[in-house]
Amino acid sequence: MASLRAMNNILFIDYRVGGRRKRVSTKLKDNRENRKKAEVLRKQIEYEVSTGVYTERLKRLDKKEMSLSKGLDEFLKSKEELNQRTANGYKHAMSKFIKYSGNVSIKKITPELVKEVRAKLVMDKYKVNITNKKKPALNAEEKVYKEKTLTEITITSYINKLRIIFNYFVKQKYISDNPFPAQPIKIKPVVTIPDKDLQDILAKLKRNNREHYKVIMFLLLTGLRVGELIGLTFEDSVDFREEILKVKNYKKNREDLLPIYPEMMEFIREEWSDYTGLLFSYKSIHSMKFFERFRKREGYEKYSFHTIRKTFITKLINSGMSVYDVMTLARHRNIETTLRHYSRADLRRMGNEISNRTNMGSILGSDFKKGLKLVKNA
């Protein structure tokens, strides 16, 4: 039960919750009119205590006093599916913010404080070890460091992560509004390799270095990330019977499956005589600098291995293939990535097969198309 009490001509409400006595001031002076108002408050508190609503309200009030570090811990516990790398990203973003805000309660984080901390992050300096790795230092005194400041991209990444954390607090009703602003997404134009340059690049590589040609052509036909080429074997990766390419995704600890379509099948059979062992002999991405050297030497635009992947995905979308199929072939984690970066085509048109939707055959030349016809007619 809750009751009214007057003290020093001010009305108070006494009640019990969780076995403890509580007293709250109405801040109303003791008179007939104010007693009517206080009675309404008394009945509301009495109802909320009896139904448990008031207890939940107190819990939420307690959560408002939760520090940033404890709030982060609760957020991460609610996201058990996060991998360690992503979790560390949230931890790092929060530690950078706490460095300038202090480990204050979450309710004290305001848009003004966020702006203040962001301004300080621009000036934040950290040391990078630039000691020659080929000649490692013998002791700490011999190590060489370079002082750097955080880039705008890095700071924006921190703010985005903190916004996600505070969205959780809003969802849990610990706070009413998110103090971290939504960051505008800057969409860079997608750089792809025009067909004319593609044909020229492939022709030059095919004449001068067959192994380099195979790498570029394989990336173009599959849209693989360059690191995914390493470790591909005929025994574990290429299934001729099912016409499937198996790609290990070490980051997600899974195996992705891609179709081996006619152009790709013909290319493999034409370029490899022995279907055993590794498809490519490279041991790391660092040993695959040939394309950058070739590009500079021949005077091409700033193309990269990833530009080839973008070219593959863009060709799929421009061909009219379903955006969901493109997402699957590109192995994007969410469809927004596919739409945001690559979709410029009329997505209402539906597609069937890569071989029917792209001009891979024309890029490879007339001899290849003749071979492809033989395969299709066989």
Measured from the Cβ of residue 164, the count of other Cβ atoms closer than 10 Å reads 15
Q: 268: domain CATH number?
A: 1.10.443.10
Q: What is the number of structural domains in the chain?
A: 3
Structural domain containing residue 253: 195-377
Do 57 and 77 fall within a single domain? no
The domain boundary residue, chosen from 64, 84, 115: 64
Establish if 266 belongs to a structural domain.
yes
Same domain, 202 and 289: yes
Count of CB atoms situated within 10 Å of the CB of 250: 9
Is the CB of residue 158 less than 8 Å from the CB of residue 93? yes
Residue 189 in domain: no
Looking at the structure, do residues 156 and 295 belong to the same domain, yes or no?
no
Q: Are residues 53 and 126 in the same domain?
A: no
Which of the listed residues 41, 64, 87 is the one where a domain comes to its end? Answer: 64
Q: Which residues of 320-340 are buried (b: 16+ CB within 10 A; e: fewer)?
A: ebbbebbbebbbbeeeeebee
Q: Is 178 contained in some domain?
A: no
State CA 299 to chain mean position distance: 33
Relative orientation angle of helices 262-271 and 210-222, to the nearest 10 degrees: 160
In this structure, the answer to whether residues 74 and 124 fall within a common structural domain is yes
pLDDT tens-place values along the chain, 378 residues long: 788 889 889 998 888 877 778 787 888 889 988 888 888 888 887 877 777 766 545 444 445 578 899 899 989 988 877 888 889 999 999 999 999 999 999 989 999 999 999 999 888 776 666 665 555 555 555 666 677 788 888 888 899 999 999 999 998 888 889 999 886 656 567 788 999 999 999 999 999 999 999 999 999 999 999 889 888 999 999 999 999 999 987 666 778 899 999 999 999 999 998 888 999 988 888 888 899 999 999 999 889 999 999 999 888 888 878 888 888 898 887 777 777 655 444 333 433 445 566 666 566 554 444 444 444 444
Q: pTM for the full model?
A: 0.52
Identify whether 340 is part of a domain. Answer: yes
Based on the fold, state whether residues 370 and 260 are members of the same structural domain. yes
Q: Is residue 177 part of a domain?
A: no
Same structural domain, 107 and 128: yes
**Residue 181 covered by a domain:** no
